[in-house]
Amino acid sequence: MKVLVADKISPKGVAFLRTQPGLEVIEAYGSSPEKILELVKDVHAIAVRSETKITAAVFAAAPLLKVVGRAGVGVDNVDVDAATERGVIVMNTPSGNTVATAELTFTHILCGARPVPQAAASMKAGQWDRKSFSGIELFKKTLGIVGLGRIGGEVAKRAQAFGMRVLAYDPYLAPSRAKAMQIEGVSLDELLAQSDYITVHMPLTEDTHYMIDEAAFAKAKKGLRIFNCARGGIIKESALIAALKSGQVAAAGLDVFEEEPLAKDSELRTLPNVTLTPHLGASTAEAQDAVGVEVAEQIADVLLNGAVRNAVNLPSVDAATAKILGPYLDLGAKLGTLVQQLAPAAVAKLRITYFGKIVDLDANAITRSIQRGYLTRISGEGVNVVNAPIMLERLGLRSEIIKSSDDSDYTELILVEAVAADGSARSAAGTLITKANSPRIVAVNGREVEALAAGKLLIIENQDAPGMIGYVGTLLGKDKVNIANMSLSRQQAGETALMVINLDSEPSAAARAELKAHPAIKLAKFVQL
């Protein structure tokens, strides 16, 4: 079987592939798109970094292709949808650059405390200026880490070794996890107010875009030092520039930017109290060796053993089982995503209960699909059905799996509950309509409903009072949002009622704000499945 190494990965990775019996390795670095289309006609696997684009046309030209392995985290250069449609596994290597990025982050932190780059430039210019480059110590200072995943956790260890007090804001971090790491879990506002240094380690999502903006800097200590080796766009660059000029921020270190490469005329290049590096997070010999060897091992496992690790588009099950489980996997992922959007940020446990015939299936793949769905909007592009359980553990969020023999009134039913530390829970239950295997939501927060588990949903909890349905319908109509289906539920007249509404389009921010402001509405949540 042929393995095309399209981008230059570590020689150790290529050497590993060459030692595997039954594999033929083709190295074709820097090939044009036309050359790639020619080379893939009889290959079974492709290894890439970020340079070569694996497009729908490449998949169409590669009838034997089984797997694409990306030596790195992001798979932006791979058309994952096209791969899935063609039955091709796409894998990444999410853990290989953890230490490299953590160490670069701490390098920036040290340079923010002691202006070594500026002093070095002064020396090379022939100067001997000891007065201009005075710094401050890390010892007994407070470091705020925004996002305590793999990299944030490694940065925390290094900060503690320097005698720093470490705070962390991560809305999905369980208190028990923070305590075990000797870290104080706090709100973002508390972190801003107390930190001498801040470093961000979140994925770039709708929720984290411009998380650190003008308002955030205004809440921070004067003289803050701030660093970003995660993703450009988490810190608003225009706000950072203004804060650096005003002295609200004393120093900054950036490895990532809103637009890359950074524009030559960017004002960031002119500020003396900023250290800039050109996206070097994973640029160490060890990290490149790690991801190169890791992707080579994963490709060999798929081709020679049928084993799948770090797949971003397929569950780790054989093809025959996947065909049977497919509709359940889809339902599970949607239930997980729905519950995450309904639940509070801090959750102690994810409880999954299976009822009916589904109890007799191997539910591991379904469980992982639910977990992946729950994490998708939290953990970004690195999450998949293989690493979802580990990522939940890192957040301190336990999974409880129950196979129930109780009668659920359905042939098969999946109930997903996000349980807080005080025992309160947000939940959703779903089943398949047997004739078409169509996923349906049949309960939300313990109330029976009947809604299609797809597309755009508006979930409203309100005081049961005359005119509420008409009010919601009129408001959506004015907003040019069409209602595809509406399911209503209540337990007692005059108490809390529930509406689950399938929509054809997303309500505007103004319409959602008006809904939330209504005195009879307790919850108005727009959910995208």
Query: Which residues are identified as catalytic?
Result: 231, 260, 279
| Cα–chain center distance at 120 | 38
User: Which residues on neighbouring strands pair with residue 252, listed in sequence order?
Assistant: 226, 274
CA angle 391, 392, 393 (to 5 degrees): 90
**Cβ neighbours of residue 15 closer than 8 Å, sequence gap 6 or more:** none
Gap between the Cα atoms of 168 and 380, Å rounded: 19
Gap between the Cα atoms of 148 and 141, Å rounded: 19
Q: Which two tokens stand for residue 285?
A: 């010999």
The one-letter code for the residue type at 397 is: L
Q: Which two tokens stand for residue 90?
A: 């796409």
Q: Which two tokens stand for residue 176?
A: 């028990």
Q: Residues 485, 519: contact at Cβ < 8 Å?
A: no
Gap between the Cα atoms of 150 and 156, Å rounded: 10
Q: Residues 210, 237: contact at Cβ < 8 Å?
A: no
Regarding beta strands 425-433 and 412-419, do their DSSP bridges make them parallel or antiparallel, or are they unpaired? antiparallel
* 414: Cα within 13 Å, side-chain hemisphere: 31
Q: Could you please report the per-residue DSSP string of 241-259? A: HHHHHHTSEEEEEES--SS
| Short-list 427, 446, 423, 440, CA closest to 496 | 446
Helices and strands in the chain: count of H runs, count of E runs: 17, 22
| Short-list 383, 489, 402, 481, CA closest to 446 | 489
Q: Could you please report the per-residue DSSP string of 419-468? A: E-TTS-EEEEEEEEETTTTEEEEEEETTEEEEEESSSEEEEEEEE--TTH
| Short-list 253, 223, 234, CA closest to 108 | 253
Give the relative orientation of helices 98-113 and 116-124 as an angle to the nearest 10 degrees: 70
**Cβ neighbours of residue 78 closer than 8 Å, sequence gap 6 or more:** 48, 53, 54, 68, 70, 90
Backbone angles phi, psi at 386, to 5 degrees: -85, -45
Gap between the Cα atoms of 519 and 512, Å rounded: 14
User: Which residues on neighbouring strands pair with residue 166, listed in sequence order?
Assistant: 143
User: Which residues on neighbouring strands pair with residue 318, listed in sequence order?
Assistant: none
In three-state secondary structure terms, 283 is: coil
